[in-house]
Chain A
Amino acid sequence: MKALLLQKANKQLPRKTFVEIVKQMWLRDKWLYVLLIPGVLYFLVFRYAPMYGIIIAFKNYVPYLGITESSWVGLDHFTAFFSSPDFLRLLGNTLWISFLSIAIAFPAPIFLAILLNEVRFALYKKFVQTCIYIPHFLSWTIVVGLTHLLFSINGGVIVEMVETIFGIRINFLAEPEWFRPMIILQGIWKGTGWGTIIFLAALANVSSEQYEAAIVDGAGRFRRIWHITLPAIRGTVVIMLILTMGNVLSTGFDQIFLMTNSLNRSVADVFDTYVYNVGITRGSYSYSTAVGLFKSIVGIILILTTDFIAKKVDKESGLF
């Protein structure tokens, strides 16, 4: 019986040539393939052609010669970058900003989400949420523009307030030691409200019965937060932290670029803005591509590593 079925199956599946398979695919799904054309072209031209263009990091790219004709230089651009004083300065600046935002800006939405979760009037909670989500949708140009108005040395309200209270006039926008605090402050203002969403979603899964049972058992407010709220978001916190760690080299181009000026440049330059300044402004295409490639490769290693750890922590999470 089994042999018969197998024989039958073999008869029904005569060996097809490649052309026949393609033909059959095309007849069955031709319109689906037609629909794919614009998207596939997009990925080839704007995503994969630039990946091919990365080879200029190993060449001395001269625009009129083109990519293929330009001469190979091996790892010269990389060694030049690693041995230049810029490398350690960029790495330091980037890691400082990432470290500060993980230490200060990262816990802020967790704290705010816990407080929002304790609000008993649904309408008030909704009102606060509506207000604090707004900055997320504004461009960095607007956020930095607002910062320049409020922190301007010429009559900015914050500068005036600080002078009244502490008796010192601080130029927040120009003094290098204020650059990092300003970046973190802007990040908190723009992102904290929106950041609460993911934690509030985790808290929405906690049944109110758990809280009621705790109340019956005589647990006070802080004990309920400690024993119910915090465990409920612990998984999310760990995952978010790990994913943030995976992005430590990506400090966001727009914000840093717009906040940089000639006075704070020494502490402001990070990998992304450096690539722009050296590559686009000064035209060192090959060298800046090498810098960008270094950042991308470290970034991909960090993301895959942290994704691996995230999966170990919680099977459901992880990016891929």
Chain B
Amino acid sequence: MSDMHKLHNTKPGRVFDLINVIFLAVAAIVTLLPFIYVVAGSFATESELARRAFFIIPETFTLEAYRYIFTSEAFIRSIVITIGVTAVGTAVQLFFTFTMAYPLAKRALRGRKLLINIVIFAMLFSGGMIPTFLVVQGLGLIDTYWALILPNAINPFNLIIIKNFFQNFSVELEESAKIDGASEIGIFWRIVLPLSKPIIATFALFYAVAIWNDFMSPLLYLNDSSKWTLQLLLRQVTISSDPNALGNLDPDYVPPAEGMKLAIIVIATLPIMMVYPFLQKHFAKGLLIGSVKG
């Protein structure tokens, strides 16, 4: 170890370290700067946003942009819808994934291999956008929130990872419960699920973030703009730059056209940032156990 210190402290070693530390700091700053600007700008006045191209502290602090978006009916509606769909969708998707993963983990179950192959084939090949759309349409789910939840009810990769997790589950525990006369469903509900809380929490986050961020399903399945989720509204405000996207009932009032873009990005990012510490911890693990072999 002393050798290591000695050599690290040579001149070329120190120069490399310095350059490396600076380079990584630049990488971190480049990542963060857009957020800092968006947060700062969301609290700035329209005239300042027009005058200054970039700043990290606004000269005049104002809540005008937030006041405007939070009085917009379209915005409030989309937030309520998105939170509702995320909550219900996460619960539904967890239910579908965990109930299927548990029996598939039982090596003695007849038909297990066939079902696993059905799942794996669905990972390789899909009907594609249009045939899936026609199924959703045929079920009468267009313009319903179920269209944002059910077509993605099981992510096959998640299913396989959870199945592998259950395969490593303590057999003795289940055997002793069986001797006590518990049925398979009782064991699943009262013993297996309570002991799987960490993995349930992890996949709840997986699904919740995926639903919150989902752009394609609402684009495909929601025609009625009064049913839009936050991602669709976000696109209308920030990318299509539609100044009337959030509505304006008062003809004398000029909405903060730039500020509202920044504020809505802040609001859409906030929940992700709030769960980010957990995401970082669990996703990194999930990625590395993400083997499909079973």
Report A's interface with B, CB cutoff 8 A: 25, 29-36, 38-40, 42-43, 45-54, 56, 67, 112, 115-116, 118-120, 124, 127-128, 130-135, 137-142, 144-146, 148-150, 155-157, 160-161, 189, 193, 197-198, 201, 211-212, 215-216, 220-221, 253-254, 257-258, 272, 275-276, 279-280, 285, 288-289, 292-293, 295-296, 300, 303-304, 319-320
B contact residues, range: 35 or more
Q: Once bound together, how far apart are the Cα atoms of A115 and B209, in whole Å?
A: 30
Who on chain A is nearest to B279 by CB? A137
Interface status of B61 (Cβ within 8 A of chain A): no
Q: Besides A50-B132, A150-B34, A212-B3, 8 other CB < 8 A contacts? A: A38-B99, A39-B96, A124-B21, A140-B215, A146-B34, A201-B288, A211-B4, A216-B3
| Residue in contact with B31 in the complex, picked from A134, A142, A150, CB distance below 8 Å | A134
Contact between chains at A25 and B110 (CB < 8 Å): yes
Interface of B is mostly: helix
Contact between chains at B293 and A320 (CB < 8 Å): yes
Report B's interface with A, CB cutoff 8 A: 1, 3-4, 7-8, 12-13, 16-17, 20-21, 23-25, 27-28, 30-32, 34-35, 37-38, 50, 53-54, 95-97, 99-100, 102-104, 106, 108-110, 115, 118-120, 122, 124-135, 139, 150-151, 153-154, 159, 183-185, 188, 209, 212-216, 219-220, 231, 234-235, 237-239, 241, 261-262, 265, 268-269, 272-273, 276, 279-280, 283-284, 287-288, 292-293
Q: In the complex, how many angstroms separate the beta carbon of B77 from the nearest chain A beta carbon?
A: 17
Contact between chains at A31 and B183 (CB < 8 Å): yes
Which residues of chain B are within 8 angstroms of A50 by Cβ–Cβ distance?
126-128, 131-132, 134-135
Which residues of chain B are within 8 angstroms of A289 by Cβ–Cβ distance?
128, 130-131
Beyond A38-B95, A39-B99, A130-B280, whether A300 also contacts B130 by CB under 8 A is no
Beyond A39-B96, A132-B28, whether A145 also contacts B265 by CB under 8 A is yes
Q: Once bound together, how far apart are the Cα atoms of A160 and B52, in whole Å?
A: 10
Q: Once bound together, how far apart are the Cα atoms of A189 and B214, in whole Å?
A: 20
Contact between chains at A279 and B279 (CB < 8 Å): no
Contact between chains at A29 and B153 (CB < 8 Å): no
Contact between chains at B118 and A43 (CB < 8 Å): yes
Contact between chains at B28 and A127 (CB < 8 Å): yes
| Residue in contact with B188 in the complex, picked from A35, A53, A56, A198, CB distance below 8 Å | A35
| Residue in contact with A131 in the complex, picked from B28, B118, B216, B292, CB distance below 8 Å | B28
Which residues of chain B are within 8 angstroms of A276 by Cβ–Cβ distance?
129, 220
Q: Once bound together, how far apart are the Cα atoms of A161 and B185, in whole Å?
A: 63
Q: Once bound together, how far apart are the Cα atoms of A213 and B93, in whole Å?
A: 51
Contact between chains at A258 and B99 (CB < 8 Å): no
Q: In the complex, how many angstroms separate the beta carbon of A260 from the nearest chain B beta carbon?
A: 10
Q: In the complex, how many angstroms separate the beta carbon of B16 from the nearest chain A beta carbon?
A: 5
Which residues of chain B are within 8 angstroms of A156 by Cβ–Cβ distance?
53
| Residue in contact with A128 in the complex, picked from B27, B37, B38, B99, CB distance below 8 Å | B27
Which residues of chain A are within 8 angstroms of B7 by Cβ–Cβ distance?
215
Contact between chains at B103 and A35 (CB < 8 Å): yes
7 closest A-B pairs by CB: A50-B127, A39-B100, A53-B131, A145-B238, A139-B213, A292-B128, A31-B184
Who on chain B is nearest to A288 by CB? B130
Q: Which of B30, B183, B184 has the most chain A CB atoms closer than 10 A to its own CB?
A: B184
Contact between chains at A141 and B231 (CB < 8 Å): yes
Which residues of chain B are within 8 angstroms of A293 by Cβ–Cβ distance?
128
A-B contacts, 15 listed (Cβ < 8 Å): A30-B184, A32-B109, A36-B115, A39-B99, A42-B153, A50-B127, A128-B25, A131-B28, A137-B209, A141-B238, A142-B265, A215-B4, A258-B239, A280-B133, A303-B124
Beyond A29-B110, A51-B127, whether A45 also contacts B238 by CB under 8 A is no
Who on chain B is nearest to A212 by CB? B4
Q: Once bound together, how far apart are the Cα atoms of A25 and B216, in whole Å?
A: 41
Q: Once bound together, how far apart are the Cα atoms of A88 and B132, in whole Å?
A: 26
Q: In the complex, how many angstroms separate the beta carbon of B152 from the nearest chain A beta carbon?
A: 8
Q: In the complex, how many angstroms separate the beta carbon of A140 from the nearest chain B beta carbon?
A: 6
Which residues of chain A are within 8 angstroms of B129 by Cβ–Cβ distance?
272, 275-276, 279-280, 288, 292
Q: Once bound together, how far apart are the Cα atoms of A10 and B191, in whole Å?
A: 39
| Residue in contact with B235 in the complex, picked from A29, A130, A141, CB distance below 8 Å | A141
Contact between chains at A254 and B20 (CB < 8 Å): no
Q: Once bound together, how far apart are the Cα atoms of A39 and B34, in whole Å?
A: 41
Q: In the complex, how many angstroms separate the beta carbon of A109 from the nearest chain B beta carbon?
A: 11
Contact between chains at B20 and A119 (CB < 8 Å): yes
Q: Once bound together, how far apart are the Cα atoms of A205 and B9, in whole Å?
A: 25
Q: In the complex, how many angstroms separate the beta carbon of B289 from the nearest chain A beta carbon?
A: 11
Which residues of chain B are within 8 angstroms of A48 by Cβ–Cβ distance?
118, 122, 127
Who on chain A is nearest to B127 by CB? A50
| Residue in contact with B234 in the complex, picked from A53, A119, A141, A198, CB distance below 8 Å | A141
Q: Once bound together, how far apart are the Cα atoms of A157 and B104, in whole Å?
A: 53
Q: Once bound together, how far apart are the Cα atoms of A87 and B293, in whole Å?
A: 37
Q: In the complex, how many angstroms separate the beta carbon of B138 from the nearest chain A beta carbon?
A: 8
Q: In the complex, how many angstroms separate the beta carbon of B61 from the nearest chain A beta carbon?
A: 20
Contact between chains at A56 and B276 (CB < 8 Å): no
Contact between chains at B31 and A193 (CB < 8 Å): yes
Which residues of chain A are within 8 angstroms of B280 by Cβ–Cβ distance?
130, 133
